Amino acid sequence: MGVPSEQELAHALTVAAQLREQDQDFDGLGKCLLNQHYQLQLAQKVVLAAKHYLRSGQGTREHSQLVKAIEQVEQHALNSTDSLNRRPL
């Protein structure tokens, strides 16, 4: 499976948002794509914060930023429409 280009991803996200806005997302594909993209962005923040924390000598400010990034991922999981079937991370 190939990785979509930035242009392809932007187009797919635009179409997904339009499907949702026009109430035409019958299969939930738009919802899934938008949600997965958001989750990926949150996960990338965690990775960046962890790398920065480790490179900085594990400073308290960097630790706080890492904890905040992790909490955002956890909060998103709890706010999911399917959160009743999930356990906290």
Q: Which amino acid is at 66?
A: L
> pTM of this prediction?
0.73
The DSSP annotation for 9-72 comes to HHHHHHHHHHHHHTT--TTSHHHHHHHHHHHHHHHHHHHHHHHHHHHTTS-HHHHHHHHHHHHH
> Where do the domains of the chain lie?
6-83
State both tokens at 52: 């920065």
Q: How far apart are CA 34 and CA 42, in angstroms?
A: 13
- pLDDT tens for 14-49 read 999 999 999 999 999 999 999 999 999 999 999 999
Residue 57: per-residue pLDDT: 87
Residues listed for the chain: 89
